[in-house]
Structure 1
Amino acid sequence: MKIAIHGRNFPESARSYIQSMFDELAQRQATILISHAYRGFLDMAGIVHYSEETYQPEEGVSEADFIFSLGGDGTLLDAVTHVGARQIPIVGINIGRLGFLATVAPATIRFMIDALYNQQYSIDERSLVSVQSNIDIFNGLPFGLNDFTITRTQTSSMITVHTYLDGDFLNSYWADGLIVSTPSGSTGYSLSCGGPVLLPQTNNFIITPISPHNLNVRPMIVMDSCRLSFEVESRSGNFLAALDSRSYTVDVSTRISVQKEHFKARLVKLSDDNFLNTLRSKLNWGWDIRN
């Protein structure tokens, strides 16, 4: 089995779990492929990783049975760009804080590896948002798992986002910005701006305004088979376009549209991994003295 591994900085408390993961993979004679930046960090941290193979994140993983993401949800979002249309299954190991996407606890890593080898897992396919524009904003990676956002720059005042649904005018949002979220991203930025939570397999986008000037403007759910397009007005002459954790300053002359990507992200789920359980745990539902 060939395993690609990507990660970020980790606390000292996770060291033993990470080392045991590499030990277990080596014992099973797995071929290990590590992202170039993470390989350097592992060397500095003194982790024995049994691998001489690396890959460059900008080139992506060309061939692997699985890719392990060691970190939080942000690390998993990086891993999605490393995989792209190859749709290699992603295992999210939560060494971060929140963990809506990265749901494997460090203490269960050995159990997870055993489940992979025994094919005791399922694949959760998640839809992606795809961005089209008249310039290459995202360096050849115009897709994301969570959301696409248009926001004002730090020095600018409120912007106006003229929004169209399949070519028909929807609304002009006077706001700090606008979020187009997938169901996976409904528990992220959109949620903090008042958007609803969607189940992962819901075939929708959420349009969520960020601090709108008109208080009667509310988040809206639309089918993900539609195409959304935008024209932006800003006193500064530019705005920020962000796709998951990647953001760039863009001129207002840029024309942008979004729709559902033709491929999906494939997340590995173990037998005890349930989205409703994750919601209750991460959002503290039911934490009430009356229960």
Structure 2
Amino acid sequence: MKIAIFGQFYHKNSDVPVEVLLRHLLKKNADIHIERDFFDLIHSEIEDDQKYNVFKTFDTLDATFDLLISIGGDGTILRAVTFVKDLGIPIVGINAGRLGFLATIPKEYIEKAIDDILNGNYKISERSLLTITTSPENENIKKMNFALNEIAVSRKDTTSMITVETYLNDEYLTSYWSDGLIISTPTGSTGYSLSCGGPVITPDTNSLTLTPIAPHNLNARPLVITDSTEIKLKVSGRENNYLVSLDSRIATINNDTILTVRKADFTIKMIELLDESFLNTLRKKLLWGEDKRN
């Protein structure tokens, strides 16, 4: 298999996973390609570093790659998604971070997980994304206009609320007086949206969630809508600008800008091992069922 490897950091939580992964992949005669910046972080710490292919940026990724392995937390996978884009390369995450809803392989099971993947003992979970356009056009957003977890608008340079005028398929919904608004995919329902009181949604659900951030409308609640809905937002406030975040990427937008958010026309393929599932992940990560009566 032709395998790309990506990480953002190299610290005490990731040194052993990196060494175990690379050693096992070499043992399996995999064609290994390490992202340049990550290679620069680890090459002095690994054995036989000349055995690995290195590429300067993920612009050289193409459909010939069979797999991308992310080493880190969920944030590292979200970054990796910007490299894979619409190439259809499956992604799997080794969890060297903290909670890890996307990076689900524990450090203790790397070798077994890799063997299962190389032997085809896995399934693909297709994850929907969001895409955004702006009027007038914003160059920063245009370069990378999609998100796996969520697209959110929030206040900037002020402690005052903003007003987010919201339309669904051109029909007025409401105006949220709040610190902002999160539009979340099912994948992102366990991220920022969850922290703001949004519901947990299974990844295969054809839905999106609108979750207000600290709303001053006491009757404002998260809303689940079909993912075929086109969402338009008009933001106003005491300042002239506000922030738009696409997962971890942030842009400053003028108040007179209209945002249009819809489901992207491609998906991200996440590898799910046969002994793992989203429900199992919920029980482990959120401690569901941790009750002495169970």
What TM-score, normalized to structure 1?
0.95
- Residue aligned with 2:140, SS: coil
| Residue 227 of structure 2 is aligned to residue 224 of structure 1 | yes
2:166 corresponds in structure 1 to: 163
- The 3 A distance-change label for structure 1 pair 45 and 238 is farther
Given that 1:71 and 1:96 are in contact with CA atoms closer than 8 Å, whether structure 2 keeps it comes out as: yes
Q: Which amino acid aligns with 1:236?
A: E
Give deviations 1:155-183, integer Å, cap 9, x for gaps. Answer: 35110011110111111111000000000
Q: 1:238 to 1:181 in 2, by over 3 A?
A: same
Which residue is 2:148 aligned to? 145
2:252 is equivalent to residue 239 of structure 1? no
Which ranges of structure 1 fall in alignment gaps of 5 or more residues? none
Question: Any idea what SS the aligned residue of 1:138 has?
Answer: helix
Alpha-carbon separation, structure 2, partners of 1:221 and 1:137: 29
Give, in whole Å, the separation in 2 of the partners of 1:83 and 1:250: 26
Indicate the SS of the match to 2:22.
Answer: helix
Could you give the per-residue CA deviations for residues 224-247 of structure 1, whole angstroms, max 9, x where no partner exists?
A: 001001111021100010000111
Which region of structure 1 is more displaced relative to structure 2, 277-286 or 41-50?
Answer: 41-50
Matches within 5 A, 1:1-291: 1-46=1-46, 48-49=48-49, 50-57=51-58, 59=59, 61-62=61-62, 63-133=64-134, 134-138=137-141, 140-291=143-294
| 8 Å CA contact retained: 2:150, 2:182 | yes
Runs (4+) off by over 3 Å: 44-49
Q: Distance in 2 between matches of 1:207 and 1:232?
A: 15
- Relative to the length of structure 2, the TM-score reads 0.94
AA at the equivalent of 1:287: E
Percent of aligned pairs sharing the same letter: 44
TM-aligned CA deviation for residue 185 of structure 1: 0.5
Residues matched between the structures, number: 290
Q: Aligned-pair distance for 1:154?
A: 3.8
Q: Residues 33, 138 of structure 1: CA spacing in aligned structure 2 closer, same or farther, 3 A cutoff? A: farther
Deviation at 1:100, TM superposition (A): 0.5
- 1:86-119 deviations in Å (ceiling 9; x for gaps): 0100011111101111101112111122112211
Whole-angstrom CA distance in 2 between matches of 1:135 and 1:250: 8
Question: Which letter maps to 1:28?
Answer: K
